[in-house]
């Protein structure tokens, strides 16, 4: 908790890049995605996957998939301590081997500010790499009074088409993220939250711009590749 609080002080919740301020993201050329896949029954190893896609074409420019040892146990609310170290290493390898392909923003399969202590995996990775980061979760983390009750389900059903969204406001009054319908073909929403060096509005626009299917392409490609690596 102390370490989370110390790192949280460095989180920047607003746009810091010129491309973020442009409605069309002019100047954005490379979007990264990260994912970890585990073998069923083996908690000591995982496949860490980092991909970089071109923008706006969303074609894979770079991929790094490898088996990594996982030393920290899973503890709810502290997932980042288990997963972020190996993701930081993947980013550092890219910076050393192919610096010209460094992503200008990272999409993380997980939460950012939408977290019991306001410091999820996307914040943790963002602060340690100093890259803009966005949390993209498939399920609602029930924090600060947020619950998946009938009212929430009703609001989700009200999202009729791609790009429609509503804010997640906790009982504290703070907006912790947005619920986004990311494509017309899936009524299941995404839970988007700020990681680091990006505003919530920009985060939602970029996630939507990266979606061909429900899951944004950088995270989807990282996931596909890590599962394929494990299968082989």
Q: How many domains does the chain have?
A: 1
The residue range of the domain holding 120 is 1-138+194-231
Domain assignment present for residue 73? The answer is yes
- The rounded Cα 64 to chain-centroid distance in angstroms is 17
pLDDT tens for each residue of 114-167: 999 999 999 999 999 999 999 999 999 999 999 999 999 999 999 999 999 999
Please enumerate in sequence order all residues whose Cβ is within 8 A of that of 40, keeping only pairs 6 or more positions apart, or say none. Answer: none
Distance between CA atoms of residues 10 and 133, nearest Å: 13
Q: Which helix (H) or strand (E) holds 175?
A: strand 175-180
Say which CATH number the domain at 210 has. Answer: 3.30.2170.10
Report whether 224 contacts 52 (CB < 8 A).
no
Domain assignment present for residue 132? The answer is yes
Domain assignment present for residue 119? The answer is yes
- The predicted structure's pLDDT at residue 200: 98
Location of structure tokens 């949390």: 135
Q: What is the pTM of this model?
A: 0.96
Distance between CA atoms of residues 109 and 35, nearest Å: 6
pLDDT tens for each residue of 62-93: 999 999 999 888 898 999 999 999 999 999 99
- The predicted structure's pLDDT at residue 161: 94
Domain assignment present for residue 133? The answer is yes
**Considering only CA atoms, which of 16, 27, 34, 154 is closest in space to residue 92?**
34
Q: Which helix (H) or strand (E) holds 127?
A: helix 121-129
- The predicted structure's pLDDT at residue 76: 87
Domain assignment present for residue 213? The answer is yes
The token duo for 151 is: 């009212």
Q: Which helix (H) or strand (E) holds 5?
A: helix 2-8
Domain assignment present for residue 16? The answer is yes
Average pLDDT in the 8-35 region? 97
- Would you place residue 7 in the very low, low, confident or very high pLDDT band (cuts 50, 70, 90)? very high
- The predicted structure's pLDDT at residue 146: 96
């Amino acid at each position: 908790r102390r370490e989370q609080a110390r790192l949280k002080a460095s989180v920047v919740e607003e746009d810091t890049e010129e491309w973020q301020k442009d409605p069309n993201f002019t100047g954005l050329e490379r979007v990264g995605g990260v994912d970890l896949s585990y073998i069923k029954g083996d908690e000591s190893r995982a496949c860490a996957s980092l991909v970089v896609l071109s923008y706006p074409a969303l074609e894979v420019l770079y991929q790094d998939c490898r088996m990594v040892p996982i030393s920290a146990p899973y503890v709810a609310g502290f997932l980042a301590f288990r997963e972020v170290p190996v993701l930081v290493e993947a980013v550092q390898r890219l910076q050393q081997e192919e610096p010209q392909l460094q992503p200008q923003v990272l999409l993380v399969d997980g939460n950012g500010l939408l977290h019991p202590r306001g410091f999820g995996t996307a914040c943790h990775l963002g602060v340690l790499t100093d890259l803009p980061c966005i949390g993209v979760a498939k399920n609602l983390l029930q924090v600060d009074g947020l619950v998946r009750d009938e009212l929430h389900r009703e609001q989700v059903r009200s999202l009729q088409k791609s790009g429609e969204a509503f804010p997640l406001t906790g009982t504290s009054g703070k907006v912790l993220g947005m619920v986004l319908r990311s494509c017309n073909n899936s009524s299941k929403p995404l839970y988007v939250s700020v990681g680091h060096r990006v505003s919530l509005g920009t985060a939602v626009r970029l996630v939507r711009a990266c979606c061909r299917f429900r899951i944004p392409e950088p995270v989807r490609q990282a996931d596909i590749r890590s599962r394929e690596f494990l299968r082989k």
